[in-house]
Structure 1
Amino acid sequence: MTSLANQRFQTVDSLAEPLSIQHLSFRVRDADYALPIELVREIIEYAQVTAVPMMPAFIHGVINLRGNVVPVLDLAARFGFELTRAGNRTCIVIIELALSDSTQAIGLVVDAVDAVLDIDPQQVVQPPPFGAGIRTDFIAGMARNEQGFTIILDIAQVLSLDDIAQLSLAVTNGL
């Protein structure tokens, strides 16, 4: 009976919503952004990116990451700002997205990586209909903090399905 009761409590506990979700925080221009940490594979120093013709302006190009071709997207340009000029803290955040039949690594150029944050879902609010500095459909939510808000990106919206398909096709064809 005791083991059955413990089993029931474990099941109930496993269904409980997590107290916080880890996110990688970073900066693009002067705003704070975050992505769920489970999307992030690694963070690398900004290095030479090879330009690829016929790509949207926000696609910096590709990098060779341990023998794999990885497309690199400039988040600032995607948000409507000028292309990023590499500085001392400029990084490429490598994320991995699940596609219908495979996964695709994509590099995101950011001005600086800050920290891994534990974000309490209770502290996340809906984005305002305007005034966030980027398209509201790019925003999954806004996490309150001492300094204001950290914008949590909806990476599926930032990288539309068409963009992902175009990147995947380019990588498959060897660029």
Structure 2
Amino acid sequence: MLEPTRTQWDDQGNLEVLTFDIGEEKLALEAVIIREILDLLPETVVPGAAPLVGSIVNFRGKIIPIADLRLAFGMAIEAPTVDSRIVVIETDLGGEPQYIGIRTDKVHEVATLRQDASAEPPAVGMRWRRDFVREFVREPEGVIVLPDLAAIFQSVTGNAGGHVAAA
């Protein structure tokens, strides 16, 4: 079983993140793992691939798998909009650095979250797999979800050694 990813708050209890929407939910990923924010590109469906990462794009001569976190969180698939983007992150899967694109509905901004506004996911009352959420962070407009990408991708790869790393 994969150890839950720990959020790397700085010495002042801050975390720089990129915030984005998937459906009605606002999520955030550490800014240090973000490599690019792209307009949607033509995707090629990969027969036999796990639906979570069921397609690839050709980006500057590199083949990048595209992850749809809606599937990890049991959300309905929706058609892209004019605001849809691909957030390219760099992860460490099985000791190998890899780029993965995450399909989003709208990218917001780089923001600073505070550790004193965060909480672990509750043991009951969640509609998502608890191990797919590292923390919730309260903000005036609602809650930001910090997904545990290592657990999500491990559910596809079966690689217990994989983790999301700041490169």
1:84 and 1:163 mapped to 2: Cα distance? 25
Alignment partner, residue 145 of structure 2: 151
TM-score between both structures, scaled by the size of structure 1? 0.78
TM-score between both structures, scaled by the size of structure 2? 0.82
Matched, 1:116 2:122: no
Cα RMSD after superposing both structures: 1.8
Q: Is the 8 A contact 1:44 1:92 kept in 2?
A: yes
Q: Is the 8 A contact 1:32 1:149 kept in 2?
A: yes
After TM superposition, which residue ranges in structure 1, 4 or more long, deviate above 4 angstroms? none
Q: Is the 8 A contact 1:58 1:83 kept in 2?
A: no
Of structures 1 and 2, the one with the larger relative CO (CA 8 A, separation 6+) is 2
What is the one-letter code of the residue matched to 1:41? R
Structure with more of its chain in helix, by fraction: 1
| Offset, 1:124 | 0.9
Alpha-carbon spacing, 1:30–1:112, altered in 2? closer, same or farther (3 Å): same
Larger Cα-atom Rg: 1
Alignment partner, residue 90 of structure 1: 84
1:24 and 1:49 mapped to 2: Cα distance? 23
Matched, 1:35 2:29: yes
What is the one-letter code of the residue matched to 1:88? V
2:99 and 2:158 mapped to 1: Cα distance? 10
| Offset, 1:35 | 0.9
- Summarize the alignment of residues 9-158 of structure 1 with structure 2, pairs less than 5 Å apart: 17-158=11-152
Unaligned runs of 5+ in 2: 1-9, 160-167
Alpha-carbon spacing, 1:27–1:105, altered in 2? closer, same or farther (3 Å): same
Aligned residue pairs, count: 150
| Offset, 1:161 | 6.1
Alpha-carbon spacing, 1:46–1:131, altered in 2? closer, same or farther (3 Å): farther
Q: Is the 8 A contact 1:49 1:60 kept in 2?
A: no
The Cα offsets for residues 4-62 of structure 1, whole Å up to 9 and x where unpaired, read as: xxxxxxxxxxxx71341101111111011111111111110112110000011222400
| Offset, 1:67 | 0.4
Percent of aligned positions that are identical = 26
Q: Is the 8 A contact 1:74 1:84 kept in 2?
A: no
Unaligned runs of 5+ in 1: 1-15, 166-175
Report the secondary structure of 1:55's partner residue.
Answer: coil
Q: Is the 8 A contact 2:52 2:156 kept in 1?
A: no
Alpha-carbon spacing, 1:102–1:152, altered in 2? closer, same or farther (3 Å): same
